[in-house]
Amino acid sequence: MRHASALLAALCLCSCGASPPAPAFPDWVWESDPDLMAHGRGNRVDIEVDWVASTPPDDLALEALAQVAMRECPGRIVTVRLGTEIPDARWKASRGEAVDVLLDAVCGIRAERPGTAFIHVLYCPSNPWKKDWALNGLCRAVADPFPHWQIFVFKGVLRSRAFLSLTPAKLDRSCLIHEFGHALGLVANPEHRFEDGGGHCTDTRCVMTKPKAQAILDNAAEAIATGEIPWDYCARCRADLETARNAWRSRPR
Ligand SMILES: [Zn+2]
Ligand SMILES: [Zn+2]
């Protein structure tokens, strides 16, 4: 037995003098953020949640975010923590570039920390820049003062959309998980991505779908009957995330 394994090892050494070619991955996998997805690139995901006083986050949403982040960032320590409450008057006085100044002022993290991916979430009444675009929430990559993600949840708008048992907390959960999906790199796979460049899934039962007429129609009956709407990624989106993780794992740092 020992001889057989020694022979096998010798054969391997002979035939694999060069390292085996890395498996080919589709180009879209590299659109994901290695700081969140690459194995060995870091060991923590830190999510700070700040909020305007009249629009606090719901526990249902934050618990779902922790659950999804731990699942999709395996091997990392994930923290979802409450930060600063912003008085409504201060929010109302902040428009345009002043919103960015406010975000920097309330953010508890001042500089990049090696091995830690940082996501800054802000709950506020509505989109402070444009009233007719990104109505529910938005996600954006920020470079200054250090690279991280910002997620906005426009809680005042979500509240106005709640009805019967489709509560603001459930809308909050779907919105937060949707925006976090953009930070993870969804949806980049053209096989199930809307071709408008917005990174949304063609599966109307997926939380990454566009909040447009067809998705609302497809989910309306269940929403009315049960108060439920999709709040997690579909099987294809989850498979995409797995492919992205495998791709980063195969690439030397
Ligand atoms: Zn979106
Ligand atoms: Zn999907």
At 23 the pLDDT is 67
Instruction: Give domain status of residue 1, yes or no.
Output: no
Closest-lying ligand to the alpha carbon of 134? 1
Instruction: Give domain status of residue 169, yes or no.
Output: yes
What is the Å distance from ligand 2's center to 187 Cα? 7
Per DSSP, the chain holds a count of helices (H) and strands (E) of 9, 5
pLDDT tens track for 171-181: 999 999 999 99
Structure tokens given for 215:
């998705």
Closest-lying ligand to the alpha carbon of 238? 2
Closest-lying ligand to the alpha carbon of 206? 2
At 15 the pLDDT is 42
pLDDT tens track for 218-253: 777 777 777 778 899 999 999 999 999 999 988 766
What is the Å distance from ligand 2's center to 180 Cα? 13
What is the Å distance from ligand 1's center to 17 Cα? 47
Residue that wins the pLDDT comparison between 132 and 68:
68
Closest-lying ligand to the alpha carbon of 199? 1
Confidence band for 135, pLDDT divided at 50, 70 and 90: confident
Instruction: Give domain status of residue 22, yes or no.
Output: no
The structural domain count of the chain equals 1
What is the Å distance from ligand 2's center to 233 Cα? 5
Cα–Cα distance list, 18 to 7, 8, 23, 71, 250 (Å): 19, 17, 15, 35, 16
Distance in angstroms (rounded) separating the CA atoms of residues 253 and 249: 9
User: What angle do the packed helices 59-72 and 168-184 form, to 10 degrees?
Assistant: 30
What number is the average pLDDT over the span 115-144?
90
At 216 the pLDDT is 62
Instruction: Give domain status of residue 62, yes or no.
Output: yes
What is the Å distance from ligand 2's center to 234 Cα? 4
Instruction: Give domain status of residue 198, yes or no.
Output: yes
Structure tokens given for 105:
């002022």
What is the Å distance from ligand 1's center to 186 Cα? 9
What is the Å distance from ligand 2's center to 156 Cα? 26
Instruction: Give domain status of residue 114, yes or no.
Output: yes
Residue that wins the pLDDT comparison between 5 and 106:
106
At 55 the pLDDT is 97
At 22 the pLDDT is 60
- Comparing 98-107, 204-213, 227-236, the range with the smallest average pLDDT is 204-213
At 24 the pLDDT is 87
At 163 the pLDDT is 76
Residue that wins the pLDDT comparison between 218 and 102:
102
pLDDT tens track for 8-33: 333 333 344 455 556 689 999 998 99
pLDDT at 102 over 60: yes
At 80 the pLDDT is 98
Angle CA 114–118–121, to nearest 5: 165
pLDDT at 188 over 90: yes
What is the Å distance from ligand 2's center to 63 Cα? 21
Instruction: Give domain status of residue 23, yes or no.
Output: no
pLDDT at 60 over 60: yes
Question: Domain residues for 56?
Answer: 28-250
At 4 the pLDDT is 44
The CATH number for 213's domain is 3.40.390.10
What number is the average pLDDT over the span 42-52?
95
What is the Å distance from ligand 1's center to 134 Cα? 8
* Mean pLDDT (the chain, rounded): 86
Instruction: Give domain status of residue 202, yes or no.
Output: yes
What is the Å distance from ligand 2's center to 150 Cα? 22
At 19 the pLDDT is 58
Closest-lying ligand to the alpha carbon of 179? 1
What is the Å distance from ligand 2's center to 211 Cα? 13
Q: ipTM of this predicted complex? A: 0.98
pLDDT at 182 over 60: yes
